[in-house]
Amino acid sequence: MFADCHSFFQAIKSGSIDAYIPTVIAAEVSFVLSSHYKLSKPAILQALESMGASSGLKILDDLQMSLGIALYKSHTVKLIDCLLASSKRIQEGNAVILSYDRDFDKLGIRRLEPRDILKRSPFH
């Protein structure tokens, strides 16, 4: 997993892969780093600042709150995942969710893992 994620971020930095994230991802990253990896606040801030300064990673806030809430109401999936799945680009099929979290598969959207993208990229 780590090697695939590292290679994926290298591909973003090099410009061979376009990647978009909504700003709410910062909250999800902070939660995962603190709860699962037990990182300190300074370490989390360093990760968030690095993510924000990453060339090639573009911010795109196109989440549709009403759709996210509707998905949350009708599925047994976390609210944040439903909100991420509500992205206009994802709903239109112009983007995919990149995640190891299989709960996204319950939401009728396309989810890939880093290795799936890397297989198609000339970078890998």
Domain boundaries, the chain: 2-120
Q: Is 86 exposed, middle or buried (0-12, 13-18, 19+ CB in 10 A)?
A: buried
CATH number for 2-120 (one of 1.10.287, 3.40.50, 1.20.144, 1.20.1050): it is: 3.40.50
Poorest-pLDDT segment among 17-26, 101-110, 115-124: 115-124
Query: Residue 37, CB half-sphere, CA atoms under 13 Å: how many?
Result: 12
How far apart, in whole angstroms, are the C-alpha atoms of residue 112 and residue 115?
8
Using alpha carbons only, what angle is made at residue 90 by residues 84 and 95, rounded to the nearest 5 degrees?
115
Q: Yes or no: say if 66 and 21 are a contact pair by the CB < 8 Å rule.
A: no
pLDDT digits (tens, 9 = 90+) for 43-74: 999 999 988 887 788 999 999 999 999 999 99
Q: Which residue has the higher pLDDT, 42 or 119?
A: 42
> What pLDDT score was predicted for residue 23?
94
pLDDT digits (tens, 9 = 90+) for 23-41: 999 999 999 999 999 999 9
